[in-house]
Amino acid sequence: MKLKKKYLLAALFILGMCSNFNNVVAFGDEGDGNALDIPGIARPGDLILTAGGKYEDLIPGYWDHVAIYLGYSHHYDSEAGYSHWGYFVIEATPDGVVFNDCSRLNKADEAEILGVYGATNWHRAKVLEYANAYATGAWETSWFRDYWTWGAKTEYDYNYLYGMSTYKSMYCSELAAKAYDWALDGAPGNPWDYRYDNSDSNTNTIDADPGWSGWDYYWACAPSEVHDSARTYLIAYST
């Protein structure tokens, strides 16, 4: 299985260099289901990780997706295709950085809620401010908090094995890592002007192994690296 993943990762790396291919990577919504009570347990800004997606072999490590819990609000639900009130997450999917009802994460085989050590309610609010900026396109249009937005304003980053250098596209754990890095650094300036330090000297990162992580994770911040990070802790887990 490990060797198979490495071949698949190599193919993904080549495809990412060549084109923006759609719907290749899974996001925890094609499994047997889990019973995690996300709205009843998670705090806004907490991280939701899932395992057991349709194409989980393409994602390095055990966990294959990360979403940021937003809470009860009104948004355009990217998966449902319409706006409604509900318990939402902000996440990067093949549709881009979008708002989705958190219940879709209960379709995965497993799910867990992670907190981040040192993160206060203020930090978690800033995490959501960062994620919202990329979901609503604030990095491009210079306005925040369009809770009635229609569709994604930031594309999905298919070149995730390159690392974390781009800011006009995001993959799931990249969004989470950059959001927490900005918040824990004191939220200086605008989220779209902040540059993530993808090195071992970054003490704010929730990436267990920033920079080059060997042939398992390359230069990426994989969901499993968020799970393995010394900065994160388990709040709840369910199958």
- Tens digits of per-residue pLDDT, 129-183? 999 988 987 655 444 434 434 444 688 887 766 667 777 788 999 999 999 999 9
Sign of CA dihedral 190, 226, 208, 157: negative
Comparing 15-19, 161-165, 230-234, the range with the smallest average pLDDT is 15-19
Tokens of 109: 């085989």
**173 compared with 56, residue with greater pLDDT:** 173
Which are the contacts of 82, defined by CB distance < 8 A and separation ≥ 6?
76
pTM (predicted TM-score): 0.84
Element (H, E) at 116: strand 110-116
Counted domains in the chain = 1
- Per-residue pLDDT, 162: 65
- Expressed as residue numbers, the domain containing 120 is 2-238
Average pLDDT of the residues of the chain: 82
CA atoms within 13 A on the CB side of 35: 1
Average pLDDT over residues 224-237: 97
What gap in Å lies between CA 236 and CA 217, rounded to an integer? 25
Element (H, E) at 83: strand 82-93
CATH number at residue 86: 3.90.1720.10
- Model confidence at 56, pLDDT cuts 50, 70, 90, reads low
Average pLDDT over residues 179-194: 90
Q: Tell me the percentage of the chain whose pLDDT exceeds 90.
A: 51
